[in-house]
Structure 1
């Protein structure tokens, strides 16, 4: 019998510089999860080639994401940090799941429709099969929980569907291989192999918008660097971008309802609240009735206090990447050991010959 360890898995694509939105929406939560869960954090470099095959510096981008993990406080000794392509089991299990998943399931994925656009016939097969690889990322480690944002909920549902279909299709084989576990599937407990992974939602979502347009998400692809705070920005750059952030001419309201119809004000108050780990209502109780000329200096001071140590440590790590490479190598070896055990079980279940 193969035991299932309660475990969190999450991955980040190495596509350009991370920014404040990535930090507040994901990385800071990854750090907090270390206190309560066994965590595996992956730089998903194979996913990065599904939309853009050729990258100028994929290795450098992979190191940059890893540096952000480490600088933010993820402990690579107590937990696992690695890049996806180091562990062949990701691609190997993804192929099995390509045979489990149905084409209709893939065609319904909203993110594929958005990224493929009108020219779907010209999209890569990798982009269509992206959710199958994501399912493999999670289930290769038999992860029980995944922190998800709104844009990944549908993919996690597909992961659950793939696990359920595998468990059902191979139920007799799982039992014969002696690797079954009681798996809760809806109201029923069955003998299965893969867990039905649960979403992990840690508090209210932090949706960070552009500093130049409060109606658009903060994005690393925005042509204006003033639209975002990069995690590699120094204190001067952080302060300058907050000073130049777009606002309206009115004073800050005293209550949250007063932010309606004021996207830039709502965004800045939301960022301040997230950095301070307080509610918007508490921030407005302090700054309500005051002008942005008074609020922005306080926000800049707070942002520098919270982010400058992270950005400074990132720059230090990236200047001498040997430590990053050593972390990824060690993490890859430890992840690979877990993955190899899973793939041995999967091959036994399916009936594939192995050593």
Structure 2
């Protein structure tokens, strides 16, 4: 059996990570003394970049490693969400396996967490359909993500330019599927970024609506709490007014987790900063410089203000070189492990199969009870 190896740098990063903050839930009841069920998902669309790692994956690893024996930690690779936008089937098939290899190489341990392909568990789609039958269309119209996704696909700068004739039903209703992903496991905590707050709020509303409609206000579905990841947003290396993105046309704007050493150093060398002498942390007036300091802080665990003071009399060239070195040291061990795992097709298949079986075991009871509550059995 293979084991997932984390580099000492990753261990250090997890050690220095700040505590999670929680967004207020619809109900004030806390679950600190009770079993937590933690669920989150990630789309299998392309290799992850540094922002994905620092903003999500490293925090998944931290949650997994710090989970109590009574906690349930579940991570899903969400292929059904991926196809809400056009995909090349062969590339999607490859990307699914690469994403699983990435999660394992960068620290997700299938002995500590359930990791599986969403599409291997039909409970998600069945529950999604039931939830869609109690979801007002107006709630979906208020969702902003489908507009931003169409705008991104068209390379449009203004979401008001979005033509609804391009909107497919799957993209419009996928927040309901996202709710089903969470509620199928009766998750109590969901680690997602602030850009997903609106979707999680819909999940809370649907959980509460189902409880009121079918269970006489009893808490059949818990009202999940959002765990907001503590890392500062990682910005584009070429346009620090926007976040680092896989869809940005300039490949030099992002650091992929699989980038070789030479590309990492070259991309940071060409990162956009400013012409002001010295280094200061000022996200409003010096976003490029501040972004580099934030990345270095995330890699080393040192507070960004302390870093800024240390580099105050140095130039951008020194800062860029040190950030590149820190990122390379953080990624090189897991990157090597990823290259090994992505070719071990049997191991990946075994992990996916075992994960799907565990996921079905946890969700089938929920869906069977939902069927009974709505009168379908």
Q: TM-score, normalised by structure 1?
A: 0.89
Q: 1:1-355 counterparts in 2 under 5 A?
A: 5-34=35-64, 35-36=66-67, 37-52=71-86, 54-116=88-150, 118-172=162-216, 190-203=217-230, 205-254=231-280, 256-257=281-282, 259-353=283-377
Deviation (angstroms), 1:219: 1.2
Deviation (angstroms), 1:53: 5.1
CA spacing shift, 1:314–1:163, aligned 2, 3 Å? same
Deviation (angstroms), 1:104: 1.0
Structure 2 residue matching 1:163: 3-state secondary structure? helix
Structure 1 residue matching 2:376: 3-state secondary structure? coil
Alpha-carbon separation, structure 2, partners of 1:171 and 1:236: 59
Summarize deviations over 1:248-302 as a string: whole Å, max 9, x none: 2333335x34x54122111111111111122210111211120012222221211
Alpha-carbon separation, structure 1, partners of 2:332 and 2:249: 23
Alpha-carbon separation, structure 2, partners of 1:126 and 1:224: 29
Unaligned runs of at least 5 residues, structure 2? 1-33, 152-161
Alpha-carbon separation, structure 1, partners of 2:79 and 2:198: 21
Summarize deviations over 1:72-121 as a string: whole Å, max 9, x none: 11111121000100000010000001001111111111112333452213
Q: Is the 8 A contact 1:251 1:291 kept in 2?
A: yes
Structure 1 stretches of 4+ with a deviation exceeding 6 A read: none
Deviation (angstroms), 1:233: 1.2
Summarize deviations over 1:193-215 as a string: whole Å, max 9, x none: 10001111243x42111111211
Deviation (angstroms), 1:56: 4.1
Deviation (angstroms), 1:338: 0.9
Deviation (angstroms), 1:60: 1.1
Q: Is the 8 A contact 2:185 2:366 kept in 1?
A: yes
Q: TM-score, normalised by structure 2?
A: 0.84
Summarize deviations over 1:110-154 as a string: whole Å, max 9, x none: 112333452213311111111000000000000000012121000
Give the RMSD, CA atoms, in angstroms: 1.7
Q: Is the 8 A contact 1:11 1:42 kept in 2?
A: yes
Partner of 2:28: none
Q: Is the 8 A contact 1:252 1:284 kept in 2?
A: no
Deviation (angstroms), 1:5: 4.5
Q: Is the 8 A contact 1:211 1:228 kept in 2?
A: yes
Summarize deviations over 1:208-235 as a string: whole Å, max 9, x none: 1111121122111222221111011122
Alpha-carbon separation, structure 2, partners of 1:260 and 1:102: 39
Q: Is the 8 A contact 1:250 1:291 kept in 2?
A: no
Unaligned runs of at least 5 residues, structure 1? 173-189
Count of paired positions: 330
Structure 1 residue matching 2:85: 3-state secondary structure? coil
CA spacing shift, 1:243–1:115, aligned 2, 3 Å? closer
Alpha-carbon separation, structure 2, partners of 1:260 and 1:135: 35
